[in-house]
Amino acid sequence: MEGKLLEMFEVGPCEDDYQLGFLIGQRFCNQIRSRLAGDLILQNQLLPFARTPHAQPLLKALSETNQKKFPRYWAELLGTADGSGVPVLDVIILVNFRKEILPFISKTTMNSNADTTDDCSDVLIVGDSMAVAAHNEDANVALVGHTYLIKGKLSNGLSFIAYTYAGELPSCAFGLNSQGLAFTLNSVPPVEDEIVPAGIGRNFVSRDLLEATSTADALARIRSSEVSVGHSYNLIDIQKRMILNVETASKSRVSVHEVGTTPFFHANMYLHLQVQQVHDENSISRQKRAAVLPQGSKTDFLSLLGDTEDTKYPIYMTGPTLYTLCTTVIDLDERTLTIIEGNPKYGKVSHVFSMSSNELNLKLVNHAEGTHL
C-alpha cells in the first residue's frame, strides 16, 4: 500500500486563526473529504453515537471546555471545516476528539478496531556521541494518503512545521518550531476509570506545543491542560541538547523522565507514571522485541523501527489495521528533522528540515533517486 508523496503547504501569517484554518481546509479539501469518507471508525462508530441522545451532553461539554481553553485553535478548526466544505460536527468534534469520545461508546456497538486508531514507537538517546529521537508514526490504514505537512508562519514571528492528519489540528503526530523545539507523541491506554469525560482534547494540547517558546513553557502548557485521556510526549530541545519523555493522565497527573545515555524505547503503554492501564499485547510485544535489538547507532535505531520479525505485532506495521505512515528522525547535533518513507532501515528520505535557523528550511532531496541516511 503506497500513499502519495507527502505534500507541504506553507501558510501565514494570516489575519486571524480562522483564516489559517480556512486556507488549510481549502488546500486539502480532497484529502479531508476522502479521509472522512473512508474512516470506518468515524462512519461506523462515532457518527452513529453522535446521533443518540446519550451523546449530546458529552459532545456539548467537550466543545465548550475546549473552545473556552483554546479559542484560537477552535477558530482554526472552524476555518478548516468551512474551507474543506465538510460538516463542523465531523471535523471539529468527532475526528479531533475521537480518543475522548470512543471510551464512552457502548462496547456492544464498537468493533475491535475502535481502540487501535493509532500506535507509535519511539527510541530516544542523549549520549556523548549522539543525541537522537527516532519515531514511527503508526495509524489506522484509513490515514494512508491522508496526511500532509503544514509550515505555518504566525503573526508573532514564530514558525512551525507539523505532520498533520487530514481534517485534524496540526499536529497529533510530530512537529517542530523556530524556537528549536520539537516533539513526537505516543498514545497510552488508561482503563475506563482513569478517563475523565469532557476534558481538554489531546489534539488541542499538541497544537499548543507548536507555539511553545522553551522546554519549561512546553511543560507548563502540558501541565495546565485538564485532559480527558492521557498521552506520552517526547519533548526535544535542540538548544539544550535535551530530550524529555512526559507521560500524562487525567486529574493533572504528570511524570517527566529525562532521556540519557541508555536508549529509551517507548511504545503505547505507560512506563513511569503510575496509572491503571489496558494490557496492550501489541505494545508489550514491541517493547520486548526492542529490548533485544542493537541500539548503538542511528542505523541501529532505524533497523529497530523497521523490524518485522514478529509477524503478529511488528514494530514496522503494514496492515491490515495499523500502518506505519512514515518515520521521523530528529538529530539534535545535526539540528535536522528527517522524514523517511517506507521501511526506515532502507533510509529513503522524503524531507529534511534544518533547525539551525528560524526559517526551518527544507533541504533539497532528490525524490527520483531517493536520498538515504
- The CA distance from 246 to 167, in Å, is 26
- Return d(Cα 13, Cα 157) in angstroms, integer: 8
Share of the chain above pLDDT 90, in %: 86
Strand ranges across the sheet with 181-187: 8-11, 147-153, 159-165, 174-177, 181-187, 231-237, 242-249, 253-258
CATH number for the domain harbouring residue 171: 3.60.60.10
Q: What is the mean pLDDT of residues 287-300?
A: 96
Number of domains in the chain: 2
Would you state the pLDDT for residue 106?
74
pLDDT digits (tens, 9 = 90+) for 165-209: 999 999 999 999 999 999 999 999 888 889 999 999 999 999 999
Tell me the sheet residues that pair with 74: none
pLDDT of residue 292: 97
Confidence of residue 328 (pLDDT cuts 50, 70, 90): very high
Same domain for 159 and 100: no
pLDDT digits (tens, 9 = 90+) for 104-152: 997 545 554 444 456 899 999 999 999 999 999 999 999 999 999 999 9
Same domain, 207 and 356: yes
pLDDT value at position 340?
97
- Give yes or no for residue 219 having a pLDDT over 90: yes
Checking if the pLDDT of 368 tops 50, the result is no
What's the confidence (pLDDT) of residue 350? 95
Query: 332 with 268, same domain?
Result: yes
Residues 145 and 227 in one domain: yes
Domain that holds residue 292: 121-362
The answer to whether residue 113 sits within a structural domain is no
- Whether residue 138 is contained in a domain is answered as yes
pLDDT on residue 107: 59
Structure confidence at residue 91 as a pLDDT band (50, 70, 90): confident
101 and 241 share a domain? no
Does residue 154 register a pLDDT over 70? yes
Please state, in angstroms and as integers, the Cα–Cα distance from residue 352 to each residue in 108, 272, 330, 336, 372, following that order.
Answer: 45, 32, 10, 7, 11
Does the pLDDT at position 237 exceed 50?
A: yes
Cα separation, 33 vs 25, in Å, equals 10
CB-based contact 103:199 (threshold 8 Å): no
What is the per-residue pLDDT for 243? 98
Mean pLDDT across 219-247? 97
Average pLDDT, the chain: 92
Q: Do 103 and 125 share a domain, yes or no?
A: no
**pLDDT for the residue 373:** 63
Strand partners, 233: 185, 246
Do 86 and 133 lie in one domain? The reply is no
Same domain, 321 and 223: yes
Of the three residues 56, 79, 107, the one that is the final residue of a domain is: 107
Distance CA 169, CA 73 (A): 8
Domain membership flag for residue 115: no
Task: State the pLDDT at residue 359.
Answer: 84
pLDDT digits (tens, 9 = 90+) for 36-46: 999 999 999 99
Q: Given 56, 84, 107, which residue is the final one in a domain?
A: 107
Question: Is 209 among the domain residues?
Answer: yes
Residues 281, 165, single domain; the answer is yes
- Regarding whether 241 and 321 lie in a shared domain, the answer is yes
Mean pLDDT of 275-285: 92
Describe the chain by its helix, strand, coil percentages, rounded to 5.
35, 30, 40
- Residue 2 is predicted with a pLDDT of 54
C-alpha cell of residue 132? 537522537
Say if residue 211 is in the same domain as residue 347.
Answer: yes
Asked if 155 and 87 sit in the same domain, the reply is no
Q: Quote the pLDDT of residue 367.
A: 52
Q: What is the pLDDT of residue 5?
A: 79
Domain assignment present for 116: no
- Residue 3 reports pLDDT greater than 90: no
**Which band of pLDDT confidence, cut at 50, 70 and 90, is reported for residue 81?**
very high
How far is the CA of 244 from the CAs of 38, 263, 357, in angstroms? 36, 13, 22
Whole-number Å distance between alpha carbons of 8 and 156: 22
Residue 367 belongs to some domain of the structure? no
Residue 42 C-alpha from the chain's centroid: 18
Stated pTM of the model: 0.95
Confirm whether 369 is domain-assigned. Answer: no
Last residue of a domain, one of 80, 107, 134: 107
Is 368 a member of any domain?
Answer: no
Note the pLDDT tens digit of each residue in 266-275.
999 999 999 9
- In this prediction, residue 201 carries a pLDDT of 96
Percent of the chain with pLDDT over 70: 93
